[in-house]
Homo-oligomer: A and B are copies of this chain.
Amino acid sequence: MRTGATEVLAVLQQRGVDVCFANPGTTELDIVRALEAQPAMRCVLGLQENVCTGAADGYGRMTGTPALTLLHLGPGFANGIANLHNARRAHTPIINLIGDHMSWHLAFDAPLTSDIESLARPVSGWVRRMTGAADAVAAAAEAVDRAHDNGGQGVTLIFPADYQAEKMDAVETAAAKAEAAHPASTVSGATQTAARTISTPPPRADVDVNTCADRLRAAGKIVFLLGGGGETSGLGERAQRAAARLCDALGATAYAETFPARAARGGGLPDFDRLPYFPEPARAVLDAADLIVLAGAPTPITYFGYDGHPSQLVENDRVLVLGSAGDDIAAPLEALAQVLDAPAYLPRSHDIPEVDDGALSPAGIAATVARLLPANAIVSVEGGTCGYPFYAASAGAARHTTLTNTGGAIGQGLPVALGAAVACPDRRVIALLSDGSTQYTIQTLWTLAHEALPVVVLIAANHQYGILRNELKRGGQTLGERAAGLTSLDRPRIDWVELAHAYGVDATSVETTGELAAAMTRALDRPGPTLIAMQL
């Protein structure tokens, strides 16, 4: 039987949406029933909604196409907001499909009734409440395009249960209706909402190559800021090579944005550092520059507000914008390199520091992981403990893709690894994580086991919220007793091996770099997921 739900799924699938990260409830049951008729849409169950939304983020970063999330009303959606916040910062296309009460039931304020729109807007570039089955099909068709707007964004469809069950014409008819309805830029009932945007965006260059080249020639010290995303982003392979050529030709330097959504790394690519996180070292890079070229990166803003430092670290008149997230950055960089007669790119060779066997340290972990990284791996990095050291060491690793936490909502690294593994079954996925942040979405381990995904989960277990301690101790302040208590995970220490086993994931604990290397080698040889607890 064709219903609103079957037609919505059919239209989504026709338009390339064929993975659904799901945690449905009673108001989504007609969508669940409709999935029986869409066997080609892969369904991946998460035991908590941030698992689903984080996985959709990882999937979208790797494929450039939106995954579907299937979530339960306002409270279920709310559980997934944190990772949608990260996805918004990563410009990841995602389509959230949320059931709601029967439309005629809403006014009675039943226990699960909630203001879904208010919850959805902060993390959705486009929010639509469907007003009937035919409207739902049109909205689903439009959603796929809307998910690609603004360089990629989350869109949220609210689908009342009565319209899910509403009987409809055959799928061909519905799809045709959608096709007819879609190109119209507004659909009746559409609620278009814009996320908060920077108050004073720098003027966008028209990317006229000769004008840009003139400005580069005229500038003294130049810093390129490369922003990550798809293949042609500022941190794709082509853009990085072109940026290296421009640095050679101009005596310039280049940095990756601090938290790229996706960056190519290693395998002879240049070793561009990430722009530092704290304002002092970031300003040491930026204050000395006469021109900052934004190549897919946003204007550098301090992560938090710090007294004595401006929020926006460079004034607009020192900025040249080559393009933003979602734009092709490789082409203008290559054109500039040609116009400026930059030398050809020769693959670089970078050393991975040698480490002796011995007690684990962040630097030792970083070097060991970098050395053992298989070609074409995907590394999902979250947590300050090993994230920066690994980025430093990974220039000498085999070619790989790095995914980082773009929005600062923690609990993102493991679900993103899950989504990347679903997106790229022929690539090895490594999740390089910290113990504090991984707890927020720990249920991801079950889905890794359930789907038998070859993800190697590396947990840097220092039994504390290290980043908060670093912030608390800035400027020589001492750590008070309450502050120590609220940043300590030491009493009791979480047993990560038992935790992984509980969810059906193979696990081991290591205390030395030698043990880590052996465990990682074994893990990479296995088909399913493995967790390695790295005791610091």
- Any B CB within 8 A of the CB of A16: no
Q: Which A378-418 residues have C-beta < 8 A from chain B?
A: 406-409, 411
Is A518 among interface residues, defined by CB-CB distance under 8 A?
A: no
The answer to the question of A329 belonging to the interface, with a C-beta cut-off of 8 Å to chain B, is no
Q: Is the CB of A85 within 8 A of B89?
A: no
Instruction: Indicate if A13 sits at the interface (CB-CB under 8 A).
Output: no
Select from chain B the residue with minimum beta-carbon distance to A114: B122
* Contact status A311-B108, CB under 8 Å: yes
- Given A121-B115, A471-B26, verify A301-B78 contact (CB < 8 Å): no
Which residue, A86, A303, A408, A491, has most C-beta atoms of chain B within 10 A? A408
Which of A25-78 touch B at CB < 8 Å?
Answer: 25-27, 29, 32-33, 35-36, 39, 43, 45, 47-48, 50, 74-76, 78
Contacting residues of chain A (494-536) with chain B, CB-CB under 8 angstroms: 494-499, 501-504
Interface residue? A425 (CB, 8 A): no
Asked whether any CB of chain B lies closer than 8 Å to the CB of A203, the reply is: no
A101 touches B197 (CB 8 A): no
Within A405-460, the residues touching B (CB, 8 Å) are 406-409, 411, 436, 439-440, 442-443, 446, 449-450
> Within the assembled complex, what's the spacing in Å between the Cα atoms of A307 and B102?
9
A408 touches which of B47, B112, B311 (Cβ 8 Å): B112
Known: A111-B406, A302-B110. A440 touches B47 (CB 8 A): yes
Contact status A303-B110, CB under 8 Å: yes
A199 contacts B by Cβ under 8 Å: yes
Instruction: Give complex CA distance A311, B161 in Å.
Output: 14
Q: Which residue of B lies closest to A120 (CB)?
A: B118
List of B residues within 8 angstroms of A312 by Cβ: 108
The answer to whether A449 touches B492, judged by C-beta atoms less than 8 angstroms apart, is yes
A115 partner residues in chain B, CB cutoff 8 A = 121-122, 195-196
- How many copies of this chain does the complex contain? 2
> Which residues of B sit under 8 angstroms from A114, Cβ to Cβ?
85, 122-123, 196
A409 and B494: CB pair below 8 A? no
Chain B residues within an 8 Å CB radius of A483: 29, 32-33, 35-36
A377 to B468, CA, bound (A): 38
Is the CB–CB distance between B161 and A305 below 8 Å? yes
Instruction: Give which listed residue, B45, B311, B481, B486, contacts A22 with CB less than 8 A.
Output: B486
Instruction: Give A111 to B405 CA distance when docked, in angstroms.
Output: 10
Contact of A482 among B32, B439, B497 (CB under 8 A): B32
Judge whether B105 and A304 touch: CB under 8 Å. Answer: yes
How far apart are the CA atoms of A489 and B440 in the complex, in Å? 20
Given known contacts A119-B122, A301-B108, A439-B443, is B89 in contact with A82 (CB within 8 Å)?
Answer: no
In the complex, the answer to whether A446 meets B492 with C-beta atoms within 8 Å is yes
Question: How many Å lie between the Cα of A23 and that of B198 in the bound state?
Answer: 28
Given contacts A85-B114, A449-B492, A499-B499, contact A439 B48 (CB under 8 A): yes
A61 to chain B, nearest CB (A): 16
- Interface: A485 (CB within 8 A): yes
A89 to B411, CA, bound (A): 28
26 pairs, CB–CB < 8 Å, chain A vs chain B: A22-B486, A25-B468, A26-B304, A32-B480, A35-B483, A39-B482, A43-B486, A75-B409, A76-B82, A101-B304, A107-B311, A108-B301, A110-B304, A111-B303, A111-B406, A111-B408, A112-B407, A113-B196, A114-B122, A161-B304, A440-B443, A450-B492, A495-B501, A498-B498, A499-B502, A502-B502
What are the nearest 6 A-B pairs in CB distance? Answer: A102-B305, A105-B305, A492-B504, A75-B409, A78-B81, A499-B502
